[in-house]
Amino acid sequence: MDYRDRHVVVTGGTGALGSAVVSALIEAGAVCHVPFIHAAEAGRFGLRDHARVKLVGDIELSDQAAVTSFYTDLPRLWASIHIAGGFAMSPVAETSKSDLMKQVDMNFVSAFLCCAAAVRNMRHGAAAGGRIINVATRPALEWRMGAGMAAYTASKAAVAALTVALAQEVVGDGILVNAIAPSTMDTSANRAAMPNADHATWAKVEDVAATILFLASPENHVTRGAVVPVYGRS
């Protein structure tokens, strides 16, 4: 896949999946713009010194003004990939409104604001079209799996609905919008949290990144409004 001279935003690009996506994009020739909120994120990011990686700090993705300013300062984008988010387990009866809104802000509001800003960016200039990729989750498609983490599940289900609705809204602009829905991914954090699980069945971040890379690529001519399961063998 040829991303040469194409500018791509990757939110959450300093995390496990985000790093795999940025690495694959760089290998394909892209210029990656990676917002972050905490300095420690940039400090541990292995690609921070790469010439085609542009780290931008102090970006709170649930803040409309911050997101608008970030995207306004960017060159014309080819793709915007929204991986940033958060996870929390909590039974409904033990979940406060504050807990709920934190999940909504981290997962749904951040994706919504970045989608809106990306569309505005992609509509400018002579070149038409672009790609937007969101990240939902398996429980967002299989709701019963969300027991014990309903706030997270609902916020990610909203991301899935946003993806499908937006895909129809902007198809006339040549912008293809899709999402992936991962199950548990094979990361060091997940292995530490679930040491007795069958890690061999989990999706590898490099394989999930490859799915994102295709959906965001110029080679994807027709897929839009999809929420693609990336479950591995779990």
pTM of the model: 0.97
pLDDT for residue 207: 97
Stated as kind and residue range, the H or E segment containing 71 is: helix 64-72
Which residues contact residue 34 at a Cβ distance below 8 angstroms, ignoring those fewer than 6 apart? 9, 10, 11, 13, 14, 18, 22, 45, 53, 54, 55, 56
**Strands, E assignment, 66-127:** 79-82
**Strands, E assignment, the chain:** 7-11, 31-35, 53-56, 79-82, 130-135, 175-182, 185-186, 203-204, 227-230
- Residue 228 has φ and ψ, to the nearest 5°, of -85, 120
In 3D space, the residue among 160, 180, 184 whose CA is nearest the CA of residue 229 turns out to be 180
For residue 180, the tally of other CB atoms under 10 A from its CB is 24
Cα(131)–Cα(24) distance, integer angstroms: 16
pLDDT for residue 41: 86
pLDDT for residue 65: 98
Residue listed under structure tokens 């997940």: 190
Q: Which residue ranges of the chain lie beneath pLDDT 70?
A: 126
pLDDT tens digits, one per residue of 21-38 = 999 999 999 999 999 999
Map out the domains of the chain with their CATH numbers. 7-230 (3.40.50.720)
pLDDT tens digits, one per residue of 157-199 = 999 999 999 999 999 999 999 999 999 998 999 999 999 999 9
pLDDT for residue 176: 98
**Strands, E assignment, 36-150:** 53-56, 79-82, 130-135
Residue 79, classed as helix, strand or coil, is strand
Radius of gyration of the chain (CA): 17
Asked if residue 99 lies in contact with residue 90, where contact means CB atoms within 8 angstroms, the answer is yes
pLDDT for residue 128: 75
pLDDT for residue 126: 65
